[in-house]
Amino acid sequence: MGVPIIIMFPVLLILTSREQWYPQFFVVARFWAKIVLYGCGFLPKVTKETQVDPTKSYMVVANHTSMTDIMFMLYCVKNPFVFVGKKELTKIPIFGFFYKRTCILVDRSSQKSRKEVFDRAHARLHDGTSICIFPEGGIPDDESIILDDFKDGAFRLAIDHQIPILPLTFFDSKKRFSYTFFSGSPGIMSGYIHTEIPTTGMTQKDKKGLKEKTRNVILNALEADNKNKM
């Protein structure tokens, strides 16, 4: 993960020095993600239920089970987006430096931090950049959990800006690279891009239903995949 960042350090440093250069940084970040995935022996395979409109802003969401979900999301989605993620990842050497400069960081224990996240996300969406949130809010400690409950943030923002939800399901991340030490293996890393879920005309009263609908889309795909592999 660190080697390609070191090699591309001057370019990354320049592209992260100004917010208006983020689309160019995003292209480089996608290239970095491919190097990491293939370098780890993971073979990404993405199936699309529908084509993603390159001119639209989305609220991109997916299930979260592995550190590789960040790289796999960059591989799957071509529309420039900004991650909303926990500040603890800034402690990762090298990676954390650019993560801090390009992502919207949240301290879940701080009400002020959560407010700042919404302000920064509003600004990015206003500029036409998509936002990516893993709505489970983190990786469950219990690896037997197929899909944890979703937090409200992604759906509140999507309704505020009347942008569609773009759900993705990651099937193999936990098997390829889990948080259990000495687990995982090279192989296919498959994902599925579902049809977008519109939010046009919705208000915050519709937030719970939107959240449940999105979660069911991802949960049904995970359960169907598990059944097929049994």
pLDDT tier, 111 (very low <50, low <70, confident <90, very high otherwise): low
- Cα separation, 102 vs 72, in Å, equals 17
What pLDDT score does 230 carry?
A: 66
What pLDDT score does 6 carry?
A: 84
Contact 153, 84 (CB under 8 A): yes
What pLDDT score does 140 carry?
A: 75
| pLDDT tens-place string over residues 42-97 | 999 999 998 899 999 999 999 998 889 999 999 999 999 999 877 777 777 777 78
12, two tokens: 């990354």
Of the candidates 106, 97, 102, the residue with the CA atom closest to the CA atom of residue 80: 102
| pLDDT tens-place string over residues 7-43 | 888 888 888 888 888 999 999 999 999 999 999 999 9
In the three-class reduction of DSSP (H, G, I as helix; E, B as strand; rest coil), residue 28 is classed as: helix
- Cα separation, 96 vs 74, in Å, equals 16
Radius of gyration for the alpha carbons in the chain, expressed in angstroms and rounded: 17
What pLDDT score does 32 carry?
A: 93
Contact 197, 61 (CB under 8 A): no
